[in-house]
Structure formats: structure tokens, C-alpha cells
Amino acid sequence: MMRMRSQVAMLSMVLATPAIAQTAAPLTPAQTIEAVAASKTGEVEGVFEFVVASSGAGGFSAYLNSAANYRDPGNLTIELHTGARNGLKDKLGGHAEDMLVGKRVRVKGTARRVPVGSHFQTRISVETADQIEILG
């Protein structure tokens, strides 16, 4: 009886812990935001996919957003750091923030909830261009 209780306790702990690694289809922005919110670590590693609705740049980074307004609570943002920006510029023949609006992208990385001004945003930090696949 005691062994069964401990097996049930272990099983409930395993089922209650959100999955960090992903094996299924790419996550949508809504699925990503939900998974990050449910994660004990505040991050989810995996593959994410969306159509770029808006973009921007600031400092050394560029941003690709799943929503027209980056402040939208349902927005998922890809933050392109210098290496990724340069690699994509070479590949695309222009700046990613100009060339990828309206395109479907798939990105591999870790999604995290980060503070941005007075709100929070779920963001995937991208260091290299090979983390992003342009689907069309």
C-alpha cells in the first residue's frame, strides 16, 4: 500500500510539471504564452511558429512580432541579436525587420517572459540566423 501511494505521488508530480522539451508540432503564440506562464522555470524550450505581423528595431536588436501591436498580451516576439541580424541580412538581402513582415517563420530557441517597459512580453532570444526558418 505504501509503495502504491509513493508511485501515485510521483506520478502526480510528473504530470503536474510542465514539459520543457518539445517533440510535437511547433507551438503557436497562444500555446507558447500559456506554456511559459505554466512553467515553473518561466521558460519553454522548443520550436515556435507564426506569421510576422509587425517588426521594429532598437539598439543592436530587431524584433519580429506575432501581433500588430507588440504590447498585445497575445504577442510573441522574436528578438534578433547582432549575429542573427547580420546572418539574415546576408541571406535576405535586406534587414529582417523589413523583409519578414507578412512571412511565416519557424524559430528554435527558448521562450521567456520578460519585462518591457510597463508590461511583460513573451520573447524568444535569437543569436544566430540558423535558428530561424522562413516558411513563406
Instruction: Give the pairing type, strands 76-80 and 119-126.
Output: parallel
Please tell me the CATH superfamily of domain 20-134, with its number.
Answer: Nucleic acid-binding proteins (2.40.50.140)
Provide φ and ψ at 26, rounded to 5°.
-55, 145
Residue range 15-45, pLDDT digits in tens: 344 444 445 799 999 999 999 999 999 999 9
C-alpha cell at 107: 524559430
- What the block records as the C-alpha cell of 19 is 514539459
**Whether this model's pTM surpasses 0.95:** no
Domain positions in the chain: 20-134
pLDDT (mean) for 62-87: 96
Q: Check whether 93 has a pLDDT greater than 80.
A: yes
Helix ranges (DSSP H) in the chain: 2-16, 29-38, 82-92, 96-99
Q: 37 or 8: whose pLDDT is higher?
A: 37
